[in-house]
Amino acid sequence: MGWALGANDTANIFGTAVSSFMVRYKSAVFLAAVLVLLGALYGGSKGMATLSSLTSQTYNTAFIISLAAAITVTLMTFLKLPVSTSQAVVGAIMGIGIINKQVDTASLIKIFICWITTPLGASIISIILYILLSGIIRKKTIHFMTYDRLVRNLLILSGIYGAYSLGANNVANVTGVFYRSGILDIKQSLIIGGISISLGALTASKGVIFTVGRRIIPVDAFSAFIAVLAHSITLHIYAHIGVPVSSSQAIVGAVFGIGVVKGMHTVNKKTILKIISGWFFTPVAGMSFCLILYYLFC
């Protein structure tokens, strides 16, 4: 699961920079792999605590949750529906919570609120950043070569920050249930989760970066920098809150914010409906597969 997360979500961080040839692919994935691991180690513990508080776990249920979430991500991807590893994992955990008749309602409400506010918050941050930073640049007389170097460096810095935030926010999705079940302690959970995400970025992100990078952010390099920065800030905020959220929904929200400022109509009602469908169908599918697997094998 960590490998798949790294392979797919690296595109949200460095996709535009690499696909526009402003940053080399090898440089991008190396930076992503290192910073994802650092983010997991130094910022991932709060997310672990939140996911592990939802319900009790055993070795068997930890495995079933991971398998159910993996099946959900695979199925939703095949159906071309928006998918969130965070929502798939929480949905599967809720399946075990139903079986245990034990769910931490306060933590669950906190997670649901954060899911809803992720794209909204990214949009607001994106709008504020675009207005402020574009205003500063417009006041300066910058040679186009200097501007090109500036934007390239900004894309690299925002990608570094994004990789750190991704590791901090999403490592709990990979090993949180194994920490709760007692298979791994907190340090082992953060290390194994961080390394697995890093390996995904290093070994299998190239195709996704070049295709998704062009599709997700079909805007100029400066707008791409704003979108990645807003996405990264959003993930970092929720990492501090202790709730793993969707990297893909954060980047879509950030791009939508740029569209609002520039009067673009690339993100329409269909995109909003897809986000909403992802909120509903992904956790429901994760829960359903978890219940099926439990009753088949336990």
**Residues 250-294: tens digit of each pLDDT:** 988 888 898 888 876 655 666 667 667 777 888 999 999 999 999
pLDDT at 271: 62
Kindly tell me the number of DSSP H helices and DSSP E strands found in the chain.
12, 0
Confidence tier at 212 by pLDDT (50, 70, 90): low
Assess whether pLDDT exceeds 70 at residue 82: no
Range of weakest confidence among 21-30, 68-77, 221-230: 68-77
pLDDT at 16: 75
Whether this prediction's pTM lies above 0.75 is answered by yes
Axis-axis angle for helices 45-52, 221-241 (nearest 10)? 60
* Domain tally, the chain: 1
Assess whether pLDDT exceeds 60 at residue 214: no
pLDDT in tens, 128-160: 999 999 998 888 888 888 888 998 999 999 999
Domain ranges, residue 149: 2-297
CA distance 294 to 61: 8
The Cα-based distances of 47 to 85, 192, 203, 271 in angstroms read: 14, 15, 26, 28
Among residues 6, 52, 22, which one has the least CA distance to residue 204? 6
CB–CB of 14/209 below 8 Å? Answer: yes
pLDDT in tens, 180-200: 889 999 999 999 999 999 999
pLDDT at 81: 64
Average pLDDT, the chain: 87
Among residues 281, 280, 242, which one has the least CA distance to residue 116? 280
